[in-house]
Chains A and B, each alone.
Chain A
Amino acid sequence: MRQATIICRKEFKSYFVSPIAYIVISIFLLVTGWFFFSVFFLYDQASLRNFFQLLPLIFSFVVPAITMRLFSEELNVGSYEILLTLPVTFWDVVLGKFLAGVGFLVCMLIPTISYPITVSFLGQLDWGPVLGGYMGAILLGGAFTAIGLFASSLTRNQITSFIIAVAICFALTVIDRTLFFLPRSALGFISYLGTDFHFQNISKGIVDSRDILYFLSVSFVALYGARLVMQEKS
């Protein structure tokens, strides 16, 4: 575990060395800010529901941009070989990189706290759903980070890894909106698979252990997949 912390610290630092971090954060704030406030006054409600409703869709494009370099860059430069000949286990590497990605995601969400603060000046804001929303955002972001990490472990090309990750995350997000194609019997099961369904529950302020478990298990499956890919490469 100590090794994972060291890898995490190093990965986290290296996010802020390159300009990508600042670009991604800026784009994220621009997009969420625009979509949220452009319709905020039309609804005339002091809530962040709109913001959180947008998150799964925006995350499925932004998070892969954060995670795409985690493995691909190492595979491309060859530093992967050095990393694996240091006294670390596969899990140390996977967890270290995952936690660094989640850490970065949290950094990206911190400036958005200005949204609820702004809103609370404008009207009576219920902080419960906001707190739930942020918790859900971190869980959702974690699951997407794990998926992105898995995609990144598959290829040495960052663009390819980005596209794979976007495809998976996007599919998980919109899967329950395609339900009308499907037979009734499969409805419940399919909607349970989608991230949106679980995320909207949490962001309404309803913290259900099933939803938390869902995000944790998606993260775990993806991380385990990344570990298997690493093992396969050796």
Chain B
Amino acid sequence: MIHVEGLTKYYGDLCAVNQIDLDIPKGEIMGLLGPNGAGKTTTLRMLTGFLRPTSGSIRVKEFTAQEEPLEIKKLIGYLPESAPLYQDMLVYDYLSYVADIRQLKKDRKQSRIEQLADLCGIREVMHRPIGELSKGYKQRVGLAHSMMSDPEILIVDEATSGLDPNQIVEIRDIIRRIGKEKTVILSTHILSEAEATCDRIVIINRGKIVADGSTETLIRSASGDFFIHSSLQGAQFDSVKSELGSIDGVLDIAPRKKDREEDDALDIKITCRADGDIREKIYRKIKETDWVLLELHRETKTLENIFRELTREN
């Protein structure tokens, strides 16, 4: 559906987006993640045709951005960050204007506006000026605007920033509903949101793609080794190291700084190979000794860990 190759954008000397390659098939909800200033918005702006790339190519279906930008714009519905709509227009007037620009047929226009009003829950504010609406309603009007022509591709930048938790859930539901039939690209820096809504996650940092895949594959691929934390009473570090070190799958054992001061337990961190869970083996080994096991848990990597690992400033 969307094919991006070597996409690069310079603002003067500053490289905002650096050689991005992307392939987005039809019917996928893709989340674009990244810290502030990573190039998310710039990438989206180039996809929507608002900015011209410094180099690289964008192809949507059979159209290229250089030659037929208008055809691409017809296929894409776009909602920029914080929904910058005309403040003094009435919601209905605005949607009707968008319908005209999107060249909806007269007989379809009215029914489409009503349909969107129901889908986005803006029926009760149809005759109020956009400038007077709360942020949540503005966002919904923005969504209605972007879906006016029933576009095949929906691009949403920071859909839920500044909304309250209820509104966030509602907007997400709307996006997921749309995502069943359409290709959706959304950018966010809220990780749980990407995890909850997206089929595929692309993490960019400093204008480069640093990870690309489904949530599970990202977690699996990035984790490599994982850690087991344990707390043992009545044990010496040396003997623990020699006893547990003999278990197959244990790569390293290190003492860990204590969280609690009150007990004299030994806290350790065991680095394990990625394949299989060896907690059972560790438990059996400890059972053979006279140490008292206070704690044994595995550190599960979340998207958050991966995100921080990949985008940390070095």
Residues of A within 8 A of B (CB): 2-3, 6-7, 10, 13-14, 17-18, 77-79, 81-82, 84-89, 234
Contact = CB atoms under 8 A, between A and B. Distances in A.
A88 B100 CA distance: 12
B100 A81 contact: no
Contact of A85 (B49, B85, B88, B97): B49
B101 A85 contact: no
B80 A6 contact: no
Nearest to A6: B100
Contacts of A14: 86, 88-89
B74 A85 contact: no
Contacts of A77: 84-87
Contacts of B87: 77
A66 B191 CA distance: 46
B172 interface: no
Contacts of A86: 73, 98, 101-102
A81 B73 contact: no
A6 B98 CA distance: 9
A126 to B, nearest CB: 44
Contacts of B48: 85
Contacts of B70: 87-89
Contacts of B103: 2, 87
Nearest to A92: B101
| The 6 A-B residue pairs with the shortest CB-CB distance in the complex, in nearest-first order | A78-B84, A87-B73, A85-B48, A85-B78, A6-B100, A87-B74
Nearest to A5: B100
B112 interface: no
13 contacts: A7-B101, A10-B89, A17-B89, A77-B86, A78-B84, A79-B84, A79-B86, A82-B85, A85-B73, A86-B73, A87-B73, A88-B73, A88-B101
B58 to A, nearest CB: 13
Contacts of A7: 101
B82 interface: yes
B45 interface: yes
Given A17-B89, A85-B80, 6 more contacts: A10-B89, A81-B84, A84-B50, A85-B49, A87-B102, A87-B103
Interface in B14-28: none
Contacts of A79: 84-86
A140 B51 CA distance: 35
B88 A82 contact: no
A86 to B, nearest CB: 5
A120 to B, nearest CB: 40
A85 B50 CA distance: 6
Contacts of B100: 6
A81 B88 contact: no
Nearest to A76: B84
B150 to A, nearest CB: 14
